[in-house]
Structure 1
């Protein structure tokens, strides 16, 4: 079993903080000269530590004339450290679970097994588009359900999407796009030739509510789905031939109807 000092260390006490707290706990009320003599510390160092322990509520003091006397508070006050450690441990466990999930997806992808990767936040926008671009191979065809720069996307996506399109064109990857038949969709279609793209527009009245709630990219054996909710971007990339073929079938069933 660890000593009391070792346990206090584990909960964030420094050597000096632990020594002074334990001295006050075992010897009772003491003044600064007594602590300095007992612990071999300078008075300045002791005052600094006492102020820290007072601020945290672990010790108390009283004044008698010009002298100040310090004593340890009830050890129950340390229970707050335990609760804080539990919260930190819970957060750490959550972070580790998320890391394991991410690494499992990457590991599966590296082993050519079905895998999943998750992207989030502003960095996630660039990361998922880089992930897609890095998957381009000779004769890759990119299929996309595209929601053309809705307001909540504009700030986050413009630069990332422009860079992605340049990479796609440089790689010679053509994309087939289904977009909503509105003003923005028509503008997208007008630039198809320069963007190595073919766009077909879907009448809004033919769509189920929320059908274009985000964007879906299909290529090779991969599917990437991206959206913004509560101004937070996130995307899910799935590498699975069966799932990719299912999404491609849905795409082409709509594509053929618009020919």
Structure 2
């Protein structure tokens, strides 16, 4: 009756069966639980221990009497569910921390391009943060006016961390009055800038090229997305194209 719901909650099939047997029958010794569920007694003791550790049942013992097991108040299931949800959030957070490295290792062995997709402001932060581990100079295309307009706080946090790490960057920017004024007070120690004509080459995004990786971020009010591509061949092509553009771009006054 409740078995499927209990499994969806996070219990195993055997745990759900034992829990429901106790729920319907009331307090029982392990032997009778084994008969009701048709599980071997050795397995029953293991399941009862697991359910006890989860806070869903309790064991009652009296001197010279067989131990009895009974279900705790069903509201304990809510606490169990919340604990499982927190464990899932922690697991996801831990995975995000190592996933880029796992993808890189997979790509190295399989020689397949690794592509990671991100959404929202937190996704944009993750994409930018990936370049903070770069071992080489970062190449970037940027429409600074759009970046300041739609992701200013995210970019400032990123730039602060990058400068603290001393990571150098070459940036090709859209040339307009706003960008030239903005760059007068930028971090010149770690950032070298050149311009391309905003009418001939319009775009409103941010691209970074570093360590076998290319990342893209949209600088828009809506539809904030980011993509990370890890592939040596694509990286080398984009790096060569950037260097061509850089050598033909206008130097900052």
TM range (shorter): 0.5 to 0.7
The structure with the largest alpha-carbon Rg is: 1
Match of 1:221 among 212, 218, 230: 212
Contact in 1 for aligned 2:146/2:219 (Cα 8 Å): no
| Partner SS, residue 217 of structure 1 | strand
Contact in 1 for aligned 2:142/2:204 (Cα 8 Å): no
Corresponding position of 1:201: 195
Contact in 2 for aligned 1:165/1:195 (Cα 8 Å): no
- 2:137 equivalent to 1:141: yes
The offset of 1:204, in angstroms, is 2.0
| Partner SS, residue 224 of structure 2 | strand
Corresponding position of 2:12: none
| Partner SS, residue 165 of structure 1 | helix
Distance 1:234 1:200, change over 3 A: same
Corresponding position of 1:132: 131
**Distance in 2 between the 1:218 and 1:112 partners?**
17
Aligned residues: 165
Contact in 1 for aligned 2:142/2:172 (Cα 8 Å): yes
| Partner SS, residue 247 of structure 2 | helix
Distance 1:162 1:249, change over 3 A: same
The offset of 1:143, in angstroms, is 0.8
Match of 2:163 among 159, 169, 178: 169
| Partner SS, residue 205 of structure 1 | coil
The offset of 1:184, in angstroms, is 2.1
Structural mapping, 1:39-188, within 5 Å: 107-111=102-106, 113=108, 114-133=113-132, 135-137=133-135, 140-150=136-146, 154-155=149-150, 157-188=151-182
Distance 1:106 1:200, change over 3 A: same
| Partner SS, residue 232 of structure 1 | coil
TM-score by length of 2: 0.54
User: What RMSD over aligned residues (CA atoms) do the two structures have, in Å?
Assistant: 3.5
Unaligned 5+ segments in structure 1 are 16-102
The offset of 1:112, in angstroms, is 5.1
Unaligned 5+ segments in structure 2 are 9-19, 21-97
1:194-239 CA distance string (max 9 Å, x none): 45211111112332xxx52311001121110111566121100011
Corresponding position of 2:246: 255
1:109-154 CA distance string (max 9 Å, x none): 1345331111111211221122221x222xx101110011428x63
Corresponding position of 2:15: none
